[in-house]
Amino acid sequence: MSVTYACRLKTARLEVEALETIDDLSLTIAPKVVGLIQIGSEGRSVVLIKRYEACPGEWLARSTTTKEPFSEATAVRFQADVQALASRGLVYPYLRLLMHWLVSSETGTLVVEGDWSRMRKNRWETQFMLEEVDRHLTSRSPA
């Protein structure tokens, strides 16, 4: 699934840089940058194209619009990705809010939307991020 949106060039570059810093973690929750397309004559705006490689060809829906429980395999994979971020002392604020979690149409894979340039190093907040993710996953675990 690809995600495309228009933004300022500076914003896009910051997000690309942020995603490049975690590329070696091979996270399923994070997108890969496919490209930047310049729009406008001055070149200050671009279309940023990102793809979630964990769910190719699938539709994504906000997890808050679905009622199905997250499978155990999905939860384990999601927690492993979040733990990988936390092990580097990284916090991604969009992880705390269920409305930023997207679930894929066929496999039920969870990914996270948002501006990845907002990811930051903050070892003190990592525990809170892990607890919030665990709380959300538990609330949607199979009965």
* pTM beyond 0.85: yes
Across the chain, how many H-helices and E-strands are there? 3, 8
CB 132 within 8 A of CB 86: no
Q: Are strands 110-112 and 101-104 parallel, antiparallel or unpaired?
A: antiparallel
Residue 2: pLDDT above 60? no
Q: How many distinct structural domains can be found in the chain? A: 1
Q: 64-84 pLDDT, tens per residue? A: 999 999 999 999 999 999 999
Q: Which domain holds residue 39?
A: 2-139
Predicted confidence at residue 142, as pLDDT, reads 85
Q: 32-49 pLDDT, tens per residue? A: 999 888 887 777 788 888
Predicted confidence at residue 24, as pLDDT, reads 97
Burial 125-134 (b: 16+ CB within 10 A, else e): bbeebbeebe
Predicted confidence at residue 44, as pLDDT, reads 77
